[in-house]
């Protein structure tokens, strides 16, 4: 299954960009990042049956283990692509939220979208580690 981050804004050469790159290199599942302009542009087309996960302040808060199990379930069900959408500073509107299969939030606080991208990359790496039985992750 392809893990596909689709994010508004160009991360460029920044501390956040270095974090994203570091964690994406560690992923054991196929992955890619598509950057879009802050406004406008059309989302890349999704294969049939793709899952869309939207990072949104109105989303559910999942533990790392729950997040990993969701990815495992989609992978085992034969999902070809899991798309993770990160919006620009204004976030998503209700119509966009309605099109997502899952809304998730990294807590109740507001995070800059570039930091959210780094946090997502780390959680994807952690999910892959959990699914591989890696001893790094600790339940607490």
Known binding-site positions for S-adenosyl-L-methionine: 55, 87, 106-111
CB atoms within 10 A of CB 52: 19
**Burial tier of 106 (Cβ tally within 10 Å: 0-12, 13-18, 19+):** middle
Q: Which helix (H) or strand (E) holds 4?
A: strand 2-8
Q: Return the H-helix or E-strand segment holding 128.
A: helix 113-131
- Angstrom CA distances, 128 to 17, 68, 72, 136, stand at 20, 7, 9, 11
Q: Sign of dihedral through CA atoms 67, 86, 81, 129?
A: negative
Determine the 3-state secondary structure of 82 from DSSP: strand
Which positions make up the binding site? Answer: 55, 87, 106-111
> What is Dmax (Cα atoms) for the chain?
43
């Amino acid at each position: 299954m392809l893990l596909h981050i689709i994010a508004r804004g160009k991360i460029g050469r920044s501390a956040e960009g270095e974090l994203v790159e570091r964690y994406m290199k560690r992923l054991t599942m196929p992955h890619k990042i598509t950057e879009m302009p802050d406004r406008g542009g059309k989302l890349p087309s999704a294969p049939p049956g793709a899952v869309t996960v939207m990072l949104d302040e109105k989303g559910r808060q999942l533990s790392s283990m729950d997040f990993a199990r969701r990815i495992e379930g989609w992978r085992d069900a034969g999902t070809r692509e899991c798309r993770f959408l990160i919006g620009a500073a204004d976030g998503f509107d209700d119509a966009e939220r309605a099109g997502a299969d899952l809304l998730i939030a990294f807590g109740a606080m507001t995070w800059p979208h570039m930091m959210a991208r780094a946090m997502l990359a780390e959680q994807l790496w952690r999910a892959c580690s959990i699914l591989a039985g890696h001893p790094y992750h600790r339940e607490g």
